[in-house]
């Protein structure tokens, strides 16, 4: 790959209404406040979506902070680095501490531009081996069990291959039991606590063991990796980490200490697709299966996630659902579910770009950063 000159970087803020509210242990989303990054180069333009949410509740990063750190700290360092390839972006941004979601968006925009200019698909660049990605769906906390069952029934009818229930204290064993009772033992089922429990809840969480769950995702605080190791010794249900896995090194340590036996990979959380591939490789070497997480991405983020999720050690169903799971109108051509899976884009780069009129309609703010 030949290094390219980044002529300008544009930050676009888009407000996307969700088809229905999505409630987790940390809050309810009714809109997605999306931050897009567009890298202008002579050869091609590159697009990326920053996964940070509106509020610092899933992670310390949030969209407006990511916007500022990209414009004020990351892009100036990118310009100072001169001509770059995507592989040179992380080293150039390395002096800035943290802000992985912001860094991931910058690196991905450069990667997309570079691959579009070279006519190479992201999935080929990453070494993907699968043409389709098995699609699961993340189901929010509902006001009542009957409402939850109705929601799950709809997703199963649509063909989703796996159900993930969001849980929190007071909404855990009962909804899991109800879903098993209604839909049987054959459906693939897992839960995600978004760190809503403490080590003192181990006895309670043991009650989930009888429901044959694929995994329990991030029961404890993101910094409590040792607590997850302790919990893993007490539960039969495999522990999967999400929030705690911020790098390939963190994945290595979590696996080595027995804190998890499955890893959720979100490129934004680990600083980009190149580090995400390293997380994949570390897990593969340790015999730990991985699966692709989701951050309610528009088609821009979804396309890139599909390319990564097509790597060989992504063996559990993903959280990459169809566009219409969240959006009546996606920013790109919609991703659709067929036979419980979604096709991986084959075009150059991430394989998609925003539809200009739709982007224009939903745009709330933009900033152009020049050298
Ligand atoms: O993209 O379908 C999606 C969201 C999947 O549950 C999901 N993501 O912790 O894994 C997770 C959550 C984080 C975002 S919740 C607003
Ligand atoms: Mg999660």
Fold entry, domain 124-343 = TIM Barrel (3.20.20)
How far, in Å, is the centroid of ligand 1 from the Cα of 95?
29
Question: Is domain 6-119+355-369 in CATH 3.40.50.2000, yes or no?
Answer: no
Q: What are phi and psi of 33, to 5 degrees?
A: -90, 95
Whether residue 25 has its Cβ less than 6 Å from ligand 1: no
DSSP strand pairing (290-292 vs 262-265):
parallel
Q: How many CB atoms lie within 10 A of CB 85?
A: 13
Domains of the chain: which residue ranges? Answer: 6-119+355-369, 124-343
Give me 258's structure tokens. Answer: 């027995």
The strand pairing partners of 38, in sequence order, are 10, 47
Whether residue 24 has its Cβ less than 6 Å from ligand 1: yes
Q: Sign (positive/negative) of CA torsion 9, 14, 19, 25?
A: positive
Whether residue 29 has its Cβ less than 6 Å from ligand 1: yes
What is residue 25's DSSP assignment?
T
Whether residue 227 has its Cβ less than 6 Å from ligand 1: no
What is residue 62's DSSP assignment?
-
Whether residue 222 has its Cβ less than 6 Å from ligand 1: no
Give the span between the Cα atoms of 181 and 193, in whole angstroms. 21
Question: CB–CB of 218/192 below 8 Å?
Answer: yes
Angstrom distances, CA of residue 247 to CA of 42, 98, 123, 266, 343: 32, 11, 21, 10, 27
Give me 55's structure tokens. Answer: 């509020």
How far, in Å, is the centroid of ligand 1 from the Cα of 346?
25
Nearest to 368 by CA among 13, 98, 63: 13
Give the span between the Cα atoms of 175 and 299, in whole angstroms. 31
Question: CB–CB of 189/179 below 8 Å?
Answer: yes
How far, in Å, is the centroid of ligand 2 from the Cα of 218?
6
Q: How far apart are the first and last CA of the chain?
A: 23
User: Looking at residue 1, what is its pLDDT?
Assistant: 81
Helix segments in 119-221, DSSP class H: 122-126, 145-158, 173-183, 202-205
Rounded to the nearest integer, the mean pLDDT of the chain is: 98
Note if 366 is an active site residue: no
Any idea which ligand is nearest the CA of 294? 1
How far, in Å, is the centroid of ligand 1 from the Cα of 89?
27
What is residue 26's DSSP assignment?
T
Note if 266 is an active site residue: yes
Give me 29's structure tokens. Answer: 């989303």
Any idea which ligand is nearest the CA of 219? 2
Whether residue 291 has its Cβ less than 6 Å from ligand 1: no
| Residue ranges in the chain whose pLDDT is less than 50 | none
Whether the domain at 6-119+355-369 and the domain at 124-343 fall into the same CATH topology: no
Give me 336's structure tokens. Answer: 């659709």
SS (H, E, C) 335-354: CCCECCEEECCCCCECCCCC
Q: What are phi and psi of 252, to 5 degrees?
A: -60, -45
Spell out the residues 6+ positions from residue 272 whose beta carbon is closer than 8 angstroms to its own: 89, 90, 100, 103, 104, 107, 108, 111
Give me 370's structure tokens. Answer: 């020049």
Give the span between the Cα atoms of 65 and 348, in whole angstroms. 30
Residue nearest to atom 6 of ligand 1 (CA): 138
How far, in Å, is the centroid of ligand 2 from the Cα of 189?
14
Q: Which residues surround ligand 2, an ion (CB under 5 A)?
A: 192, 217, 242
């Amino acid at each position: 790959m030949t290094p390219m000159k980044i002529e300008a970087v544009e930050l676009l803020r888009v407000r996307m209404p969700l088809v229905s509210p999505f409630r987790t242990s940390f809050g309810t989303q009714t809109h997605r406040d999306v931050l897009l990054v567009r890298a202008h180069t002579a050869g091609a333009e590159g697009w990326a979506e920053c996964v940070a949410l509106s509020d610092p509740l899933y992670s310390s990063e949030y969209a407006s902070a990511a916007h500022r750190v990209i414009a004020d700290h990351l892009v100036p360092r990118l310009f100072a680095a001169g001509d770059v390839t995507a592989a040179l972006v992380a080293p150039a941004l390395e002096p800035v501490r943290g802000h992985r979601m912001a860094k991931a968006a910058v690196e991905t925009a450069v990667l997309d531009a570079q691959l579009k200019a070279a006519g190479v698909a992201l999935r080929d660049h990453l070494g993907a081996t699968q043409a389709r990605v098995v699609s699961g769906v993340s189901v929010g906390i509902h006001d009542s069990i009957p409402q939850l069952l109705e929601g799950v029934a709809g997703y199963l009818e649509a063909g989703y291959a796996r159900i993930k229930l969001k849980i929190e204290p007071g909404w855990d064993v009962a909804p899991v039991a109800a879903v098993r009772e209604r839909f049987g033992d054959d459906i693939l089922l897992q839960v995600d606590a978004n760190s809503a429990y403490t080590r003192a809840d181990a006895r309670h969480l043991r009650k989930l063991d009888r429901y044959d769950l694929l995994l329990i995702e991030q029961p404890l605080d993101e910094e409590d990796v040792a607590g997850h190791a302790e919990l893993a010794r007490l539960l039969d249900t495999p522990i999967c980490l999400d929030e705690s896995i911020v790098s390939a090194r963190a994945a290595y340590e979590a696996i080595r200490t027995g804190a998890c036996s499955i890893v959720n990979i979100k490129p934004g959380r680990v600083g980009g697709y190149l580090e995400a591939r390293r997380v994949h490789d570390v897990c593969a070497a340790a015999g730990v299966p991985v699966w692709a997480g989701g951050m309610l991405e528009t088609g821009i983020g979804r396309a890139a996630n599909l390319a990564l999720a097509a790597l060989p050690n992504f063996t559990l169903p993903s959280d990459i659902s169809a566009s219409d799971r969240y959006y009546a109108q996606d920013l790109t051509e919609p991703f659709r579910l067929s036979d419980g899976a979604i096709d991986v884009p084959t075009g150059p780069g991430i394989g998609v770009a925003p539809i200009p009129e739709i982007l224009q309609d939903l745009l709330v703010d933009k900033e152009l950063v020049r050298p």
